[in-house]
Amino acid sequence: MQQYDTIIIGAGHNGLVCATYLAQEGQRVLVLEASDTPGGLAATREFFPGFKASVAHTVSHFSAKVARDLKLAVHGFDSATAPMPTVGLNSAGEHIVLSGTGAEAEINGVSAEDATSYRGYRQLLQRFAELLEPFWLKTMPRVGDTRLSSLLTFAQLGLKLRLLGKQDMGEFMRVATLPARDLMDENFDSELLKAMLSWDGLIGSKMAPRSPNATVLALLYRMSGELGGAHAIPVGGIESLIGALNSAAASTGVEVKTGARVGRILIEGSEDGLRATGVELANGEQIVAGRVVSSADPQRTFLQLLGVEYLEIEFSNRIRRLRCEGYVAKLHLALDGVPNFEGLAKPDGRMIIAADMDAIEFAYDDAKYGNYSQQLVMEILVPSLHQESLAPAGKHVLSAHIMYVPHKLKGGWTEEARAILVQLAIDTVAIYAPAIRAQILHSELLTPLDLEQIHNVTGGHWHHTEFSADQLLMMRPTYEAAQYSTPIPGLYLCGAGSHPGGGLMGGPGHNAARQILG
Partner 1 sequence: MSGNTQQRSGQHDFRQVLQPSPFHPRVEEHCRVKNWTSWNGYQTARVYDTLAAEYFAIRSSCSVMDLTPMEKYRIGGPDALKFLNRLVARDISGLKPNRVTYVLWCNDEGKVLDDGTIFHLRQGEYRLCSQHHQLDWLLISALGMDVSVIVETHEIAALAVQGPTAYSVLTAAGFEGLDQLKPFGILYTQVAGFELMVSRTGYTGDLGYELWTDPSNALALWDAVFEVRDRGLYDLRCIGLDALEMVRIEAGFIMPADDFNTAETTVRAGHDRSPFEIGLGWVVNFDKPHFTGKQALLREKSRPIKRRLVKLAIDGNKPPIDSFLYDGKKGRRIGTIKTQIWSPILKANLAMADVEYRKGKLPKEIWAEIYYQKELEWQVSWARCRISETPFWTHPRRSATPPQSF
Is 271 a binding residue for partner 1 by CB under 8 A? The answer is yes
CB of 143 to partner 1, least distance (A): 13
Residue 278 amino acid letter: G
CB of 483 to partner 1, least distance (A): 15
User: Of 15-74, which residues contact partner 1 (CB under 8 A)?
Assistant: none
Q: Among 112, 148, 313, 345, which residue interacts with partner 1 (rule: CB under 8 A)? A: 313
Q: Which span sits near partner 1 by CB under 8 A: 271-279, 328-336, 391-399, 431-439?
A: 271-279
Question: Of the candidates 494, 500, 514, 425, which has an alpha carbon nearest to the alpha carbon of residue 40?
Answer: 494
Question: Of the candidates 516, 512, 517, which has an alpha carbon nearest to the alpha carbon of residue 139?
Answer: 512
- 32 phi, psi to nearest 5 deg: -110, 125
CB of 301 to partner 1, least distance (A): 13
| Cis previous bond, 500, omega within 30 | yes
Each residue 319-358 as x (binds partner 1 by CB under 8 A) or -, in order, gives: -x--------------------------------------
Q: Among 269, 411, 412, 518, which residue interacts with partner 1 (rule: CB under 8 A)? A: 269
C-beta closer to partner 1: residue 306 or 504: 306
Count residues contacting partner 1 (CB under 8 A)? 20
Cβ-Cβ contacts under 8 Å for 420 (sequence gap 6 or more): none
Q: Which span sits near partner 1 by CB under 8 A: 58-66, 112-120, 193-201, 267-275?
A: 267-275
Alpha helices (H) along 223-331: 237-251, 298-299, 313-321
Is 270 a binding residue for partner 1 by CB under 8 A? The answer is yes
User: Of 450-489, which residues contact partner 1 (CB under 8 A)?
Assistant: 487
| Cis previous bond, 477, omega within 30 | yes
* CA separation, residue 100 to residues 23, 104, 225, 417 (Å): 37, 5, 14, 39
Is 408 a binding residue for partner 1 by CB under 8 A? The answer is no
Each residue 378-407 as x (binds partner 1 by CB under 8 A) or -, in order, gives: ------------------------------
Q: Which span sits near partner 1 by CB under 8 A: 207-215, 314-322, 354-362, 432-440?
A: 314-322
C-beta closer to partner 1: residue 168 or 280: 280
- The Cα 282–Cα 495 span in angstroms is 21
* CA separation, residue 485 to residues 16, 141, 160, 308, 405 (Å): 18, 12, 27, 17, 33
Size of the chain, expressed as the number of residues it contains: 518
C-beta closer to partner 1: residue 149 or 270: 270
Is 315 a binding residue for partner 1 by CB under 8 A? The answer is yes
* CA separation, residue 390 to residues 48, 57, 74, 235, 378 (Å): 11, 12, 23, 12, 21
C-beta closer to partner 1: residue 319 or 382: 319
For binding to partner 1 (CB under 8 A), which residues are involved? Answer: 267, 269-274, 303, 307-310, 312-317, 320, 487
